[in-house]
Amino acid sequence: MTTEFDHLLKERNIVSLASKDPTQIDAWERILIKASEHLSLTEPQYKLICDRYETLQGILNASTDPILRDAHIFVQGSIGLQTTIKPASNATGEMATIDADAIILLPYVGSATSEQVLMAIEKRFRDASRVDAPIKPLRRGIRMVYADENPGFHMDITPARTCSGNTDNKGYGFLDVPDRVTGWKGSSPRTYSQWLESISQQQIKIAMDRSESIALAEATQDPMPHYDKYASGNPLRVAIKLIKRSRDEWAITSRKIDVRPISAILTTLAALAYQEVVQESRYQEIRAIDAIFKIVQKMPKFIRIMNGEFKVLNPIDSRENFAEKWNRPHGEGYAYARAFFDWYSAACDAFSVGFIQADTPKQLEDALLMKFGIPVSRTQDWMSTTPRNWTLPGRRAGVTLNTISTAGLLGSGYAQAKSQASIEPVRRLG
């Protein structure tokens, strides 16, 4: 099955920037970054989710269950990596709520089985009177759905224990997570996040305030990434957010929601690509849009096929293959793999849409709506604030706000209309 995809596992050129109008490249980069900001959580939204983590920590602290003693909740996934995006406006079901994940490190699991741990967690949160969110059991944890919040979000909580030999008490290193089907299963969510963070920091130099970090570290709950840091994008975060949203829009419009590429795959591939971009940039400085494009271009080359199986491994824990589902039998895995490559093709188009050469702004507005879910009014706002002598994204070279405005004011309408100034004055005196 994998051979069908062999030829796709390589770098793909989205568009040759060298052939494009330099000001249009500037303008499209600006739009992409703005689009990424638009997809990001706002500060109040971020704080709302933060507050929920604190609530959950409080619930755990009040537990008398020995399994949950000194339980330590920490952020996982996109919230920790600062690549969370708002749900697409046309999304339904779980896609309509923000995905906020957490790991609960349990230092005193002892010999408890994975099922016992999962039951303890579920029971604790069900018992906690303050929790009014519905709880849904997941294969490796529970899901608490805060659908009535604004924005609505769901939190997937995965309990974990440290592997034998791992003495870290902050959740780093190898962990085991309970799986309702296979029992304890190896995972390294915290170290994975650390790895992603270290890669993203290779370009971005926004350091957290140390005193703040120390103060927050006093709490049992790990500090949430500071908002400023969260909101300020770097090429990797910009790319990941746009990639994820393009995935969502593609999945919705092509009705492939169930088999859509999971965020862990997209994020891992993007991070690996970025790692290479950083290396390349040591020899030649590149701009943000170059980096974003290269990230997308390089993603497929980090998908491995080994022994007829797709591998997108957790880079710091090869026990974990994020593309595990792609290898499922009976054609089920094929659908996942096919979905990835179909989405990827659509994503390449999405990222290059700023270079279509249309006669009106509508095509770009429609494309940004269809491919990234950007409202037309928002696109219009961004376009209207483009520096006036830059070629506009989605337009022919040389078409700028200045040329459009000048054409409107001094073009055919101006030339053809008959001005009242040429009308002779009324020949009457009064």
Partner 1 sequence: MDSSIDTSLPTEVAEGIQALKNYFGADYASVLSEVTPRHGELSSFDLILPTDYLDVDRILQIGFPRTFPNKGLNLSLIPSPGLDWPHNLNETLCLFGIGQNPPYGNSVDVVIETMIRLGDLIKVVIKDGDSAGLLKEFQSEITNFWQHQLSRANQQLILLNLPESSCELMALSDQRWRPSLGEQYVWLGRTAESIQNHLRRLSSDTNFKINAPGKAAYYIVLATIPNVKIPKPSNLVDWLKPHVTEAESTSFNKWLKESSGYPLRWVVLKLPDSSIVLQAIGLRQNGLKPSSSITYGKRADKRFGNNRKQNLSGSLSYTPVHVIDPALIHSRNPTYKTSVTNTKKVLMVGVGSLGSKVTLELIKEGVEHIHLVDPDFLADANLGRHILGADDLGRNKAVALREMINRDMPLVKVTINDDFLETVVLDKPSFLEQFDLIVITTANAWSEAFLWRTFKSKGAKWALVQAWSEPYAFVGHALAAPIEQSADATSLFDASGNFKYAFTEFPDHGHIPLPGCGIGFVPGGPLGLSQIAAMTTQLALDCLVDKVKQPTWRYWIGNSTLAAEYKGKYIGPATDGAISATFSKTWPGCST
Q: How far is the CB of 33 from partner 1 (least distance, A)?
A: 20
Query: What's the gap between Cα 230 and its chain centre?
Result: 12
Q: How far is the CB of 393 from partner 1 (least distance, A)?
A: 11
Q: What one-character DSSP code corresponds to residue 5?
A: G
Of residues 181 and 423, the one with the C-beta less far from partner 1: 423
Q: How far is the CB of 414 from partner 1 (least distance, A)?
A: 4
How far is Cα 204 from Cα 213, in angstroms, rounded to an integer?
18
Query: What's the gap between Cα 23 and its chain centre?
Result: 27
In 3D, which of 175, 68, 171, 70 has the Cα closest to residue 122?
68
DSSP 239-299: HHHHHHHHHHHHHHHTT-TTTSPPHHHHHHHHHHHHHHHHHHHTTS---HHHHHHHHHHHG
Of residues 169 and 402, the one with the C-beta less far from partner 1: 402
Of residues 181 and 426, the one with the C-beta less far from partner 1: 426
100 pairs with which residues across the strands?
Answer: 155
Q: How far is the CB of 416 from partner 1 (least distance, A)?
A: 10
Cα-based distances in Å from 267 to 53, 61, 82, 357: 23, 32, 11, 31
Do the beta carbons of residue 320 and residue 186 sit within 8 Å? yes
160 pairs with which residues across the strands?
Answer: 105
Of residues 3 and 377, the one with the C-beta less far from partner 1: 377
Of residues 207 and 407, the one with the C-beta less far from partner 1: 407
How far is Cα 171 from Cα 280, in angstroms, rounded to an integer?
33
Neighbours of 358 (CB within 10 A): 18
What is the contact surface with partner 1 in residues (CB under 8 A)?
359-362, 380-381, 383-384, 387-389, 392, 401-402, 404-414, 417, 419-421, 425
End-to-end CA distance of the chain: 93
- Token readout for 52 is 């929920």
How far is Cα 421 from Cα 424, in angstroms, rounded to an integer?
8
Q: How far is the CB of 385 from partner 1 (least distance, A)?
A: 9
What φ, ψ does residue 14 adopt, rounded to 5°? -75, -55
The continuous run of DSSP H or E covering 198 comes out as: helix 189-200
How far is Cα 14 from Cα 347, in angstroms, rounded to an integer?
9
Of residues 217 and 407, the one with the C-beta less far from partner 1: 407
Of residues 211 and 377, the one with the C-beta less far from partner 1: 377
Of residues 22 and 411, the one with the C-beta less far from partner 1: 411
Of residues 6 and 359, the one with the C-beta less far from partner 1: 359
